[in-house]
Structure 1
Amino acid sequence: MKQTIIFDLDDTLIHCNKYFHKAIDAFCNNMNNWFSEYSIGLLEIKSKQQEIDIERVVREGFADTHFSTSLIDTYCYFSKKTGRNKNKNEEQWINEIGESAYAKDLECYPFMIDVLNCLKEQGHNLYLYTAGNPIIQKRKVERVNIGHYFEERVFVTPHKNAQVLEGIIKKEKLDKNSTWMVGNSMKSDIMPAVEAGIKAIYIPGLFEWSYDNVVLKDEYLNSFKTVKSLDYLMDMFLEEQCKAY
């Protein structure tokens, strides 16, 4: 029996968050130096940046400017709080370090190509469903050369939630009984999937983000499986096929 498998992109198939964590660490270290006389610690700076970043994502979705803007807003917040004058050179550096998170060479997760090849050979229908700017996200797909696995079945949206996922399911006329969502985000991938009535596979990311910290209702706890890495999917969906016979 063919299954429909909907993959998330960032931090499921390719690395993403580690570049943002690196940029945040550089930002916080410089902020700590700039505001050293005001007794503002690294933890306070990092917490405020996360707070501002999450508020912006909730309000605007995963726009390509949200990260750099969250860094600038954090800088402005502490400038106002302390009365320290803002500096154009500092603001320019902050913009550059924010943009650097998007400019890194893309690194695929281990077994990505092996898994996609295996699932395609098994005859499953593969979809890609990712958040962000359509131009940037589709360019990522081209750069890692995985577009042929998904063809026209690529969906990019600023917000990932149950309503958007339901829309894709209806548009594509997918059978919920044989449709799966695979992703690293409990908030953006797993919770919307189980709320939409499909199954899900959770692959915890290597880098945590507080935005993803949600608790599923008890009724959904048996609606998803947790695996350690992508390669578990090859045997898992082979087993699904065997169950049909």
Structure 2
Amino acid sequence: MKLIAFDADDTLWVNEPNYVDVKQKLCELLSHHIDQETLSSRFYETQMRNLELFGYGAKSFILAMIETAIELTNGAITGAEIQQIIDTGRKLLDFPIEVLDGIPDVLKTLSKDFDLMVLTKGDLFDQESKIARSGLGQYFKHVEIVSEKNEQAYQRILQKYGVQPADFVMIGNSLKSDILPVVHIGGRAIHIPYAITWAHEHVADEQLVGKSFMALASARELLALLGKVNQGS
């Protein structure tokens, strides 16, 4: 193995629960305008519609909240309510980073023998801030923040660092973003599920048929697994 890459959000630290919490606050704020089920559905539609324009991350999330609130209230939402949405969403930009169990020990150990990379998608400033706040940056030789994690993105990164797919390992919680694209280009992938998965990252069971990758219950299992892989056993 020449390069081991880690996803960031919900692989290195807790992320999705913060977004769920902010979305719930939006539902509460607009409860006198619209029911929660309708709001959740329309909010997701807005997010998907805006992905190509605004990408992923907190800022895109906040814009989608405002746009959804305006649409569902037919413009009746007040300036004060919009300010509440902004203030609530702003918390996504500076929430305390909760590093997941075992991650510091795993990174400290692996970084002694391997080149490690953070490979995440989203807003550049947002992701850089989370990496800095996490205190984990010292363990990574490389950081790559991309707009989308697909086969083309992985191939581009491997070419940049002169690494063959067979010598690359990707570790992450998202089957859609971290696992399947890497498997498709001939790389190795390790799936460590997180308790909550954003709907956009869900993968149907049939998409996994015939796909070869490892699945672990926690990051702590990585040390034993990667040690065996590196020894060719």
Equivalent pairs: percent with the same residue?
A: 25
Q: What secondary structure does 2:219 align onto?
A: coil
Question: Which letter does structure 2 place at the counterpart of 1:149?
Answer: Y
Structure-2 residue corresponding to 1:89:
80
Deviation track 1:48-107 (CA, whole Å, cap 9, x = no partner) reads 112212332244322542000110111012112xxx622000011011111112221111
Q: What secondary structure does 1:136 align onto?
A: helix
Structure 1 runs of 4+ off > 3 angstroms? 215-220
Q: Give the structure-1-normalised TM-score.
A: 0.88
Structure-2 residue corresponding to 1:107:
98
Equivalent-residue separation in structure 1 for 2:221 and 2:9 (angstroms): 18
Q: Which 10-residue stretch deviates more, 105-114 or 203-212?
A: 203-212
Question: Which letter does structure 2 place at the counterpart of 1:47?
Answer: S
Equivalent-residue separation in structure 1 for 2:210 and 2:42 (angstroms): 32
Where do 5+ consecutive residues of structure 2 fail to align? none
In our comparison, the structure showing a higher alpha carbon Rg is 1
Q: What secondary structure does 2:186 align onto?
A: coil
Structure-2 residue corresponding to 1:98:
89
Q: What secondary structure does 1:72 align onto?
A: helix
Structure-2 residue corresponding to 1:22:
21
Structure-2 residue corresponding to 1:142:
132
Q: Give the structure-2-normalised TM-score.
A: 0.92
> How many angstroms does 1:195 deviate by?
2.0
> How many angstroms does 1:11 deviate by?
0.8
Given that 2:174 and 2:193 are in contact with CA atoms closer than 8 Å, whether structure 1 keeps it comes out as yes
Name the CA shift for 1:145/1:45 in 2 (closer, same or farther; >3 Å): same
Structure-2 residue corresponding to 1:61:
55
Where do residues 133-172 of structure 1 align in structure 2 (5 Å cutoff)?
133-151=123-141, 153-172=142-161
Where do 5+ consecutive residues of structure 1 fail to align? none
Equivalent-residue separation in structure 2 for 1:132 and 1:218 (angstroms): 25
Q: What secondary structure does 2:163 align onto?
A: coil
Aligned residue pairs, count: 232
Question: Which letter does structure 2 place at the counterpart of 1:210?
Answer: A
Structure-1 residue corresponding to 2:200:
211
